[in-house]
Amino acid sequence: MSEHAATTPSAATATAAAPTSETKPKAGPSNSVGPGLDTTSKHTNISGVRKITPWEKKMEARKKAEAVKQREKEMKEAKVAEAERKRTITKERKQKAEEKARIEAMASKMSAKKLLRKKRRLGITKKVSHSN
């Protein structure tokens, strides 16, 4: 209501009877006077469209920035996890190859020892030559 209308006696009784959005809350945790009545004033232009305040613009920008930061953080974590996974796979592959080479070397060494034992049993050694 405008200030001019509030000065008339009929308007004064109407405003006293019905709570408006400009009244302060009496008590309670919620910020409303009655059911569905909000105490905060809303900014609207002539056509009735709600205007966005600079604070709301800042809050929206802040929310967008936080969302972007969160997305960047997730992407970075995914990239690090992928690099760690590749590193682990490469390390496992290298360990398997080393283990295989060690087993092959051990097998060849064991077969050489076995061959040397057989030669000794047959009497074929470097010290004694059996070529007559």
Q: What does the pLDDT look like over 47-78, one tens digit per residue?
A: 778 778 899 999 999 999 999 999 999 999 99
Q: What is the pLDDT of residue 47?
A: 78
Task: Name the residue among 20, 43, 42 with its Cα closest to residue 32.
Answer: 20
What does the DSSP assignment read for the chain?
A: --HHHHTSHHHHHHHHHS--TTSPP-SSSSSBSSTT-B-S---B-TTSPBPPPHHHHHHHHHHHHHHHHHHHHHHHHHHHHHHHHHHHHHHHHHHHHHHHHHHHHHHHHHHHHHHHHHHHHHT--SSS----
Stretch 32-44: mean pLDDT: 61
Lowest pLDDT segment from 5-19, 37-51, 53-67? 5-19
Query: Residue 1: what pLDDT?
Result: 47
**Is the sign of the CA dihedral 118, 120, 126, 132 positive or negative?**
negative
- 93-123, pLDDT tens digit by residue? 999 999 989 888 888 888 888 888 887 887 7
Closest alpha carbon to 1 in 125, 75, 84, 17: 17
Q: Where are the domains of the chain?
A: 17-51, 54-122
